Amino acid sequence: MTRLSLQTLADLPADVIRPAYDRSAMTCGVVHLGIGAFHRAHQAVVFDDALNAGDMRWGIIAASLRSPSVRDQMAPQDGLYTMLVRDGAAEQARLIGAVQQVIVAPEEPQALLAALASPDTHIVTLTVTEKGYKLDPATGALIESDPQLAADLASLESPQTAPGYLVAALALRKAAGLQPFTAISCDNLPHNGTRLRAAVIALAHRHDPALADWIAAEGAFPETMVDRIVPATTADDIEALTRRIGVEDQAMVKTEPFIQWVIEDSFCGPRPDFGAGVQVTAAVAPWEEAKLRLLNGAHSGIAYLGGLAGIDHVHEVLALPEARHFVESLWDEAETTLSPPAELDVAAYRRDLMARFDNPTLKHRTRQIAMDGSQKLPQRLLATIAARLAAGQGIDALALAVATWVRWQAGLDDLGQSHQVDDPLAAPIAEALAQATDPESRVAAILAFDAVVPPELACNPLLAEALTRWLTILETQGARGALAAFRQ
């Protein structure tokens, strides 16, 4: 089958939206670290909008820090890919042309450093997942025991981590008399800009204190909040798109109509005139908090409950009335901990979230959301629990969500089917749980992981009691039984 490429554009159906700009005329003002489906359906679209509006500075050089798979998908397609926006029966196909090149960092570290150090580069965006920052979730300190970070602490000649690449490139820019780039974390980390800045400056200080001082004084690390549901692409998706457009697109992404990017107004160089879906603001934290505790918190609860129950997709979980009741209850608990900005109508936001979760065409897999739970739960659920307990409020729904994650870590669902626990702490957590003999001791084992549960929260007896109660029900009655018990 013929692949999508510049040569096949003329053969595409008329309803496929094409780039409105000359790709040969764009310069690459953006380097993105961690190219995956989310970037291709979110930040790349925003920069593609800027190019379509006539600002040709915002092409993208993207990099994978690990696998060559995305490069291998996109290179034969001249960097082009299709974004399918699905809303019920409606579907819109749009070609995104903003990505000019994909670099596989382990294969070409110097090429990535050259891109980062280029005078054309003004913005660096990152979607490297929570674990890619090499930061302890509880303390925010560098995880110096991490082998890749240890290598970067020893030498930055061929960096291995995202912070390592940023520090090495900023050193090159300083030496060349260039100003720093604006580094924007687009991962679901609380205070992501502050944490990225701290990681970069800490690593820089270990190599060159003067460089660290220059980055601190001249660089910019805006806080951001990103939101768009981007399910993993399947072979069936690629086959269906091939039938529709007549060529094969191995790099396609599928998503929903909703897109949101809230960015702190803190740049150290040029930026696009951002269009629809982007809000530049003085304070990101209230937006970020609402998204983490409502959308992401509910997503995690849905993922582990659905995964244990053998339910593949988010919308299928929410077809259960008791699951909808659980989600609304979790939102009731989380809402009391928020300080929403005046522009955010929380009631309307909740309604919109439920409608997005219900979208059956997205087929958002519960197991995709379940990945890296030890890195996600601190900000999605445990921070909310801490705020509720500090206010003397109950945590019933939140505790059920966390207990379901504990149950998921055992690697066996309610149907007796084994599953892979895709998590950087999977092995030590599994070992600790295997040595525990009952729900109470299993909860105690989890609470001892201070990289996940802050010690001041772990010692709260109300949390241990709630988790033990729900874990007991999950182990004896399963996820469906727990949802039924919750609704009573």
What distance in Å separates the CA atoms of residue 412 and residue 264, rounded to the nearest whole number? 42
> For position 475, what pLDDT does the model report?
97
> For position 140, what pLDDT does the model report?
81
DSSP-assigned beta bridge partners for residue 28: 58
Q: Which residues contact 140 (CB under 8 A, 6 or more apart)?
A: 195, 198
Supply 116's token pair: 């980062």
- Apex CA 50: angle with CA 46 and CA 53, to 5°? 135
What distance in Å separates the CA atoms of residue 73 and residue 250, rounded to the nearest whole number? 5
The DSSP bridge pattern shows strands 182-185 and 123-126 to be parallel
Q: Which residues contact 404 (CB under 8 A, 6 or more apart)?
A: 301, 304, 305, 308, 470, 474, 479, 482
The answer on pLDDT for 410 being more than 90 is: yes
> For position 137, what pLDDT does the model report?
74
> For position 311, what pLDDT does the model report?
97
The answer on pLDDT for 345 being more than 80 is: yes
Supply 453's token pair: 């549960």
- Apex CA 80: angle with CA 78 and CA 85, to 5°? 170
Helix (H) or strand (E) holding 102: strand 99-104
pTM of the model: 0.84
pLDDT digits (tens, 9 = 90+) for 286-323: 999 999 999 999 999 999 999 999 999 999 999 999 99
137 close to 375: Cβ distance less than 8 angstroms: yes
pLDDT band, very low/low/confident/very high, at 89 (cuts 50, 70, 90): confident
What distance in Å separates the CA atoms of residue 41 and residue 36, rounded to the nearest whole number? 9
> For position 188, what pLDDT does the model report?
84
The answer on pLDDT for 72 being more than 80 is: yes
Task: Please name which of 341, 422, 380, 404 lies closest in space to residue 187, comparing C-alpha atoms.
Answer: 380
Supply 461's token pair: 């007896």
Amino acid symbol at 179 = Q
